[in-house]
Structure 1
Amino acid sequence: MTATETPQSIPTTVPTTTVHQNGSGAAPPPPARPGLLLGLLLTGQFMAVLDVFIVNVAAPVIRTDLHTSGSALQLVIAGYTVAYAVLLITGARLGERHGFSRVFQLGVAGFTLSSLACGLAPDSGALIGFRVLQGICAALMVPQVISLIQRTFSGAARIRALGAYTAVLAGGGAVGQVLGGALVSADLFGSGWRPVFLVNVPIGTALLLAGRRLLPVLPGNRERGLDLPGLLVLAAGLGLLVVPLVLGHEEHWPLWGWLALGAGVLMFGLFGLVERRVAARGGSPLIRGRVLRAPGLLTAGGGLLLTMGSFGGFMFAMALHVQAGLGLSPLRAGLVFLPMTVGFGLSGMHWQRLPKRFHPVLPAVALAVSGLGYLGVGLMLREGERIGVGVEALMLPLGLIAGSAYGPLMGRALARVAPADAADASGVVITMIQLGSVVGVAVLGTLFLSGVSYPAAAAVSGRSLFATAVGTCVALLAAAVLAARVRRVG
């Protein structure tokens, strides 16, 4: 992409000029084995996504085996997500300061060890603590993936790498459901739920060994300070937002949750003031103002937030419906979603093969059609019907259509960000995506659960799923509006 090209002409590319992390302006050499390097990075990303979903399937067995209360079980599931979402931007800054490859390896090592600790946890208290540690390590690992892709790939290779990244985000959810169900059902050597965590240990060990040979040597930029005031204020704001969203329904939306949400909004305002003050003093703000002002970043990021929120929220409701409402096993429930996630991943990798004249309007059209597709699934299941050929047939094209929106939006979010700002931009975008998943499950999950309390008749569950599908459709239509607006950014 040249300096004169815009997101409208090539909507998914990002600048091909690269610089060292030290800002010298020298382009790092291309990776000797780009396919292996990309596979290494995306496997780390895959593990982080996998652990958001795989534990959901194992939750009932964990509760029985460890005699866990409902609130403690919620913390086992949410502790990872909260720590992960709150610390992503911090992880991005640490990667820029100390070296993307080094921090990625540190995150992988910590994630592997904490996964081992989760698998060996003797009680629910220990499991909660190790899950939080696992989320912290994921926040160190994940932001480096996009940063390293931006620093080591360019042009068409970068588009393909971002497409593969999209496929991994989608595939992690499906594999998490299926693999979690298979491992729990197998009950290997009487281990019950523990393999859902221990499966990360050999994968993480292999990544650490391969990373020593494959990861590029990119020096950190120690001139950028850590901006501790900004870190603390932002982490507090994100925590005050995420914790009540994750725990609100389980706790019946108590007053403290609403107060925390309000305080979170105030903390974001305070964060803006702190960052301006740091910049005025000649310091190094946590997020450079020019990053947030990059054309298309926040608009496309908002579209990604709504897209992932809709996807995650509807999948959460659908998983409850097919298991608790229709009585499917965890493994069978995971297989229901497999065509959709396969379609999502395939189109995320290959959408650019469509005629270029369609590219500018592709995200907006795809999101609008996806919204109608979710609505169609809700209509087909609204009276408690079994999962039939019609629903199964709709899942694959629905995934194909949704995935063809995600890839272009990701590209447009990063298209006008300078490579020197890769860490800041990746932290912001990934945080918005993760927050989208949290908010989507909280809002759409609450909409679904407000209409049904299990055990319940399949028809009651189906009508609640239809109400959730209506909310999903509305959110995706809003995302389509943002996608249409980002075409005019520049």
Structure 2
Amino acid sequence: MLAVVLAAQFMALLDVFIVNVAAPTIRLELAASGAGIQLVVAGYAIAYAVLLITGARLGDLAGHRRMYLVGLALFTAASLACGLAAGTGQLIAFRIAQGAGSALMIPQVLSLIQRNFTGEARVRALGAYAAVLATGAAAGQVAGGLLVSADLFGTGWRPVFLVNVPIGLALLLLGAKVLPRDARTAPGRARSLDLPGLLLLAATVSLLTVPLVLGQEADWPLWTWLSLGGSALFLAAFGAYEARLARRGGAPLIAPRVLRIPGIGRAALRIAAVMAVNAGFLFTLTLHLQGALGHSALRAGLTFAPTAAVFGLVGLTWRRWPAAWQRFLVPCGFLLTAVAALAVGGVLADGGDGGRELYPVLCAMGAGLALAFSPALTGALATVRPEDAADASGLLATVTQLGQLIGVAAFGSLYFGGITAPGARASADALWLCAVALAATAITGAATGLVRRRR
């Protein structure tokens, strides 16, 4: 069961990043505009972020097994449609459908783990989940480079979508056999979806994510800032409505008791910080390698293989380390990430490719990100009660996605703004600015735990 749900988790996350490497080829073959190719990349992420919490609650209402299979079927069908798309408009629409399928499927992964594993088995399962969650980002870069460079049967970019089809079909067959049947709903349990809360939340996330995704290309016009400000207002309205609904005995999208789980708020901050650093690092380094240094999609993708491999290794083994180390792993992981980010910027500062010196620091980046992320996620979810699994899953999955979007927008803007002249050296200078900002963000993530412990 764990292998089936984590395979789908990995496939969906892979799809977030695999298109980044294929984007130049898609733009050329479909004659897409700059805005069009941005929506091809971003349509998935926007639909995914907007519907994640809704997907979690639907799983709680209709059954986690059922919603997992429905989401996987939609994702697989949309992947086939993306691979066969004849134009930019079709591809954008099918990418949004892909994101919706992921939003229905992904929250069920954590919920199924929470409800079917206990004790040490749950800790191990959550560790595997955490390892899959962040290695999917780097693996997407690698897989995208391999598939685009291979140009299978002259199909160009299409295999980055079509590869999901046989995997999705196999997981559908296996999932139908191995996933536990959904338990019947207890008498008196709410069976309705909080539609006003859903609309408020969708407006909040949309107003936040759309300008983050499109703002850089449009040079941050007034509407982007108004949209960001509007997201704060809708967030306040959503919080007030949900609290009032809970007091009246209703069923809000996020149960207030979930927000009161010890450590859940701190974990959310840490997860957002590490995902922002991870996404910003991958995005800006990819721009430098492919745009400034002229590396092929394959070479740029393979550059991230050490980061992905070490992240997975550390994410799966940190629980076996001495017990006395456990409380320090997350702060030390953030500090190691900060050092690694500065080291990457320093190695590439002369405008070269970094040579052999680049790979040890990429390994250090993978280790730091794993230590900052995996124990934080596992610790937050280890104490969540099974009845709160859906809400906690939706909340942390949404935080993860928003962290990635914020990282790409913030560090991408810093990178583009830091380029003052053409050439690899100017790009390296901009990358160094990003490295300093990435390090500062990582240090802030480390400080969250230290301040809490001192209190």
Shorter-chain TM-score: which interval?
over 0.9
- The partner residue of 1:460 within 410, 426, 432 is 426
Q: 1-side partners of 2:453 and 2:181: how far apart?
A: 36
Q: Does 1:361 align with 2:328?
A: yes
**What SS does the aligned partner of 1:252 have?**
coil
Q: Render the CA deviation track for 1:117-143: whole Å, top value 9, x for unaligned.
A: 000111100100000010011000000
Is the contact made by 2:420 and 2:426 (CA closer than 8 Å) also made in structure 1?
no
2:162 corresponds to 1:198: yes
1:79 and 1:96 mapped to 2: Cα distance?
26
Residue type matched to 2:163 in 1?
V
Q: Which residue in 2 is equivalent to 1:84? A: 48
Does residue 1:105 correspond to 2:72, yes or no? Answer: no
Aligned pair partner of 1:163 in 114, 117, 127: 127
CA contact 1:300–1:483 (8 Å) conserved in 2: no
| Two-structure CA RMSD over aligned residues (Å) | 1.4
* TM value normalised by structure 1: 0.90
The answer to which of 266-275 and 377-386 deviates more is: 377-386
Q: Name the CA distance, whole Å, in 1 between partners of 2:121 and 2:379.
A: 16
- Deviation larger for 222-231 or 340-349: 222-231
Is the contact made by 1:92 and 1:424 (CA closer than 8 Å) also made in structure 2? yes
Q: Tell me which amino acid in the other structure corresponds to 1:209.
A: L
| Residue 132 (structure 1) aligns with | 96
Supply the distance in 1 between the matched residues of 2:424 and 2:52 (Cα, whole angstroms): 39
* 2:139 counterpart of 1:172: no
Query: Structure 2 CA distance, aligned partners of 1:472 and 1:415?
Result: 29
What one-letter code is carried by the residue in structure 2 that aligns with 1:284?
A
Aligned to 1:405: 372
* CA distance, structure 1, for counterparts of residue 195 and residue 184 of structure 2: 18
Compute the displacement of 1:370 (Å): 1.3
1:115 aligned onto 2:79: yes
- Deviation for aligned residue 1:224: 4.3
- Residue correspondence of structure 1 range 87-486 to structure 2 within 5 A: 87-219=51-183, 221=185, 223-452=190-419, 456-485=422-451
Partner of 1:9: none
User: 1: CA distance between counterparts of 2:453 and 2:297?
Assistant: 41
CA contact (8 A) 1:300 1:486 kept: no
Task: For residues 139-183 of structure 1, give each alpha carbon's deviation from its aligned partner in whole angstroms, at most 9, with x where no partner exists.
Answer: 000000011011111112111111111221232122211221121
4+ residue segments displaced more than 6 Å: none
The reply on whether 1:69 has 2:39 as its aligned counterpart is no
Contact 1:183 1:196 (C-alpha < 8 Å) held by counterparts: yes
The one-letter code of the counterpart of 1:85 is A
The one-letter amino acid of 1:71's match is A
Contact 1:82 1:135 (C-alpha < 8 Å) held by counterparts: yes
Give the counterpart letter for 2:379 in structure 1.
Answer: R
Deviations 1:186-228 (A, max 9, x none): 2112211111100000000000000111001122646242111
Q: Does structure 1 residue 46 correspond to structure 2 residue 10?
A: yes
**What is the rounded CA distance, in whole Å, between the counterparts of 1:468 and 1:51 in structure 2?**
25
Secondary structure at the counterpart of residue 404 of structure 1: helix
What is the Cα deviation at residue 385 of structure 1?
A: 2.1
Deviation readout 1:67-103 (Å, 9 max, x if unpaired): 1100000000000000001110000000000100110
C-alpha contact (below 8 Å) 1:180/1:196 kept by paired residues? yes
Work out the CA distance in 1 between the residues paired with 2:346 and 2:354. 12
Q: Give the drift of 1:488.
A: 7.0
Q: Contact 2:69–2:175 (CA<8 Å) still a contact in 1?
A: yes
1: distance between equivalents of 2:433 and 2:444?
Answer: 17
Query: Alpha-carbon deviation of 1:383?
Result: 2.2
Query: What SS does structure 2 have at the residue aligned with 1:450?
Result: helix
Q: Is the 8 A contact 1:96 1:220 kept in 2?
A: no
Aligned partners of 1:398 and 1:171: how far apart in 2?
12
- Matched position secondary structure for 1:295: coil
Identity %: 52
Separation in 2, partners of 1:357, 1:224: 45
1:296 and 1:416 in contact (8 A); partners too: no
What is the match of residue 7 of structure 1?
none
Please give the per-residue CA displacement for 1:32-81, whole angstroms capped at 9, x wherever unaligned: xxxxx111001110111111111111111111111110000000000000
**Separation in 2 of the partners of 1:485 and 1:86?**
32
Q: C-alpha separation between the residues in 2 aligned to 1:159 and 1:483? A: 20
> Could you tell me which residue of structure 2 aligns to residue 17 of structure 1?
none
Letter in 2 for 1:292: L
- The within-5 A match list for 1:24-63 is 37-63=1-27
Judge conservation of contact 2:273–2:441 (CA < 8 Å) in 1. yes
User: Are the aligned partners of 1:108 and 1:137 in contact in 2 as well (CA < 8 Å)?
Assistant: yes
Deviation at 1:453, TM superposition (A): 7.1
Separation (CA, whole Å) in 2 of partners of 1:79 and 1:251? 16
Listed one character per residue, the Cα deviations across residues 299-326 of structure 1 (whole Å, up to 9, x for unaligned) are 1111110001011101100011011111
Equivalent residues of 1:178, 1:334 under 8 A apart: yes
- CA–CA distance in structure 1, aligned partners of residues 275 and 453 of structure 2: 20
* 1:238-282 Cα deviation digits (max 9, x unpaired): 110011001100111011110000000000000011112212322
CA distance in 2, matches of 1:342, 1:238: 32
| Residue identity opposite 1:468 in structure 2 | C
* Structure with greater helix share of residues: 2
TM-score (norm 2): 0.97
Deviation at 1:361, TM superposition (A): 1.3
Which one is further off, 302-311 or 410-419? Answer: 410-419
Question: Contact conserved, 2:347 with 2:354, CA < 8 A, in 1?
Answer: no
> What are the superposed Cα offsets for residues 365-390 of structure 1, whole Å, 9 maximum, x if unpaired?
22112112111111121221223111
* Matched-pair contact (CA < 8 Å) for 2:21–2:301: no
Cα distance in structure 1, aligned partners of 2:250 and 2:323: 43
How many equivalent pairs are there?
452
- Partners of 2:360 and 2:305 lie apart in 1 by 12
Q: Which amino acid aligns with 2:111?
A: S
